[in-house]
Structure 1
Amino acid sequence: MAKNTSSSAFRKIDVDQYNEDNYLEEDQGELQSPSVGPDEAEVTAMLNQGRNIEALKTVLKNAPLGSKQQAVKDAALNLTLKVLLSIKSSQIEEAVNALDRDFVDVLMKYVYRGFEFPSEGSSGHLLLWHEKAYAVGGVGSIVRVLTDSKRV
């Protein structure tokens, strides 16, 4: 026999919160203070001393992901490409293996952004970076880069 439920507590649930049309994108960049990008003098000094992998880590750590200023992002891109192109082909695998997963994702963002604005001889070198970063990050890294709303 059916049970009599005279309770109306179920009517207090807001079912509209589960509607897919009410999706609000979370802007996590606003929660963090926007980065001003890597310090060019510090990175250039590292490159001059031959500490290329440390320069790469510094550039990736200080990437202006939360910044909305295109000039800051362009300056960071130019500096990152300078670092990437200064590392020899034989050292690329060692450099990528020294990075953690988040840094590999940021590296992939810069590689794809570098493909957008190729310079003399940069495309072949960026393809090597992509190959080694893909070996470490896998398809997941590419998917995270292509679906992330924070651009470099």
Structure 2
Amino acid sequence: MSKNTGRTQFRNVDVDQFDENNFQDDQTDEEVKGPDEAEVQNFLSKKSYEDALKAVLRNPPIGSKNQAVKDKAFNLVMRVLTAFKTTDVEKVVNSLDNDTIDILMKYIYKGFSSPTENSSAILLTWHEKVYAVGGLGTIVRVLTDRKGI
């Protein structure tokens, strides 16, 4: 006769948590406000583009359900990215940390998905420089991330 194996006391790992039918996205209780537009505008008016980029990437609306906040943040990022001269892009990207580079790459791919006039050329320049610093891992993390910007 066989023994009763219905007991689960021997389990060390809860395998039910990995069941795709039970999967739930991470829920955020607090609403993300996005970047501070006044601060970014202040940096842009002073022509301090590097500080404007760091400010706009500091508080991205990742996981926010509010589409208006996401669109506002995206438009602000695009305004900052288009303000840079092509020769200054590499220096600025080299000064960013890995998490910020991933966030920037998310915005670049979002810009590719909804191009405007002349934005594709600017985004390709940024993509080239971000890829040079972040490598293939940055692209993979952006494309496999469930939480969109």
Structure-2 residue corresponding to 1:30? 28
Amino-acid identity (%): 49
Q: RMSD across aligned C-alpha pairs, in angstroms?
A: 2.2
Q: Tell me, in whole angstroms, the C-alpha distance in 2 between the residues paired with 1:11 and 1:107.
A: 46
Structure 2 gaps of 5+ residues are none
TM-score, with normalisation over the residues of structure 1?
A: 0.84
Q: Tell me, in whole angstroms, the C-alpha distance in 2 between the residues paired with 1:136 and 1:25.
A: 33
Determine if contact 1:34/1:65 at 8 Å carries over to the other structure.
Answer: no
TM-score, with normalisation over the residues of structure 2?
A: 0.86
Q: Secondary structure at the match of 2:14?
A: helix
- Residues 77-113 of structure 1, C-alpha deviations (whole Å, 9 max, x = no match): 0000000000110000011111100000000000000
Q: Partner amino acid for 2:28?
A: E
Q: Tell me, in whole angstroms, the C-alpha distance in 2 between the residues paired with 1:37 and 1:16.
A: 37
1:50 to 30, 47, 50: 47
Structure 1 gaps of 5+ residues are 1-7
Structure-2 residue corresponding to 1:71? 68
**Is the aligned partner of 1:120 residue 2:117?**
yes
Determine if contact 1:111/1:126 at 8 Å carries over to the other structure.
Answer: yes
- CA distance change for structure 1 residues 11 and 74 in 2, over 3 Å: closer, same or farther? closer
Deviation for aligned residue 1:38: 1.1
Q: Partner amino acid for 1:113?
A: K
Q: Tell me, in whole angstroms, the C-alpha distance in 1 between the residues paired with 2:10 and 2:56.
A: 48
Q: Secondary structure at the match of 2:135?
A: helix
Deviation for aligned residue 1:53: 0.6
Structure 1 segment 2-151 matched on structure 2, within 5 A = 12-14=9-11, 17-18=14-15, 20-21=18-19, 24-25=23-24, 27=26, 30=28, 33-151=30-148
Deviation for aligned residue 1:13: 2.2
Deviation for aligned residue 1:40: 1.4
Q: Tell me, in whole angstroms, the C-alpha distance in 2 between the residues paired with 1:54 and 1:85.
A: 14
Q: Tell me, in whole angstroms, the C-alpha distance in 2 between the residues paired with 1:121 and 1:94.
A: 22
- CA distance change for structure 1 residues 14 and 59 in 2, over 3 Å: closer, same or farther? same
